[in-house]
Structure 1
């Protein structure tokens, strides 16, 4: 799956389902799911970047923004989102408007169906435009979250488990295997 690097706080706002537009100076014809990668650098101070309407939307839905701020990761894949359209002057409060269409356009990528990972995939170096992660990202058979394959455990059947699920399920699977061997005797 493709990835797109986005600076904080925009990346977290998208992954949490607040921000439904990604503003870019280039148009995309791509439609589908992408990884949300957080750039190594921030876009600036959270409170100063948002308009009053944007801030009210976020604060209204959160108990307090400091809690949200703890989710800020950098150089990490934090979730997924679907690109469903690409337009100019979308009505969303997150869309940069362009009153003068004789200038270089600002494209509003319309986003939907965000997924925030419980655990980000850390230490992933981003790139410009769309790109493919250098690491293999695999879904854990136990919890259905996605992880870097290097951090996962594998059972005898080739199924992949995150460390937390492996810790819980490995003893159970070992006991089940022992019981099956005893029944086969």
Structure 2
């Protein structure tokens, strides 16, 4: 169990929503990138700031993976993968990078490179942080004066469409 921000990894990787939530929740086991990394070990998952156009595009791709490839018995509908419950502009979880691959049988792999994630977990309370490209040290970027952007209180999207 993570007790304080001091227990969190030093580096973060910014990921657009809803992919960031899927990674932190442990559903998505690979984060796709156009570049390779030699970084291994624990990282923080940062949900990037809200961008309506990016969110709409990513939501369509996300649903396609869930419905056609992930094989979950009851993937969420378009309406269920909405802004409600997603946090933007904050550290939302942690994961451990165990490998960087160029091929995988995972339905989540569709990039040039894939960072293989293990031991993912969502934070109970997101930490507002200004993001950056690539891996970045997040502590100097904490925005204490601004709450994390969240559309609705304490909802988290699950594959079965229920809140948890």
Whether TM exceeds 0.5 here: the answer is: yes
2:46 to 32, 37, 46: 37
1:49 to 28, 40, 61: 61
* Bigger relative CO (Cα 8 Å, ≥ 6 apart): 2
Offset, 1:44: 2.6
**Equivalents in 2 of 1:37, 1:19: separation in Å?**
15
Equivalent position of 1:80 in the other structure? 94
Cα deviation, 1:144-182, whole Å, max 9, x if unaligned, reads xxxx7xxxxxxxxxxxxxxxxxxxxxxxxxxxxxxxxxx
Would the aligned equivalents of 1:62 and 1:68 in 2 still touch at CA under 8 Å? Answer: no
Would the aligned equivalents of 2:18 and 2:81 in 1 still touch at CA under 8 Å? Answer: no
- Where structure 2 has 5 or more consecutive residues not aligned to the other structure, the ranges are 1-9, 145-164
Would the aligned equivalents of 2:12 and 2:138 in 1 still touch at CA under 8 Å? Answer: yes
Number of equivalent positions: 129
**Equivalents in 2 of 1:16, 1:55: separation in Å?**
18
Aligned runs of 1:30-179 on 2, under 5 Å? 30-42=39-51, 43-45=54-56, 47-50=59-62, 52-55=64-67, 57=70, 60=74, 66=80, 70-96=84-110, 106-122=112-128, 124-135=129-140
> Alpha carbon RMSD of aligned pairs, Å?
2.8
Offset, 1:113: 0.6
Q: What stretches of structure 1 move > 6 A for 4+ residues in a row? A: 61-65
TM-score by length of 1: 0.60
- Where structure 1 has 5 or more consecutive residues not aligned to the other structure, the ranges are 98-105, 138-147, 149-185
Give SS of 1:8's match: coil
Q: Rg: which structure is higher?
A: 1
**Equivalents in 2 of 1:111, 1:76: separation in Å?**
19
Offset, 1:52: 3.9
Offset, 1:70: 2.9
Equivalent position of 1:17 in the other structure? 26
Cα deviation, 1:93-128, whole Å, max 9, x if unaligned, reads 00016xxxxxxxx10111111010111112x10111
Q: Which has the higher helix share?
A: 1
With over 3 angstroms needed to count, the CA separation of the structure-2 counterparts of 1:65 and 1:84, relative to structure 1, is farther
Would the aligned equivalents of 2:65 and 2:108 in 1 still touch at CA under 8 Å? Answer: no
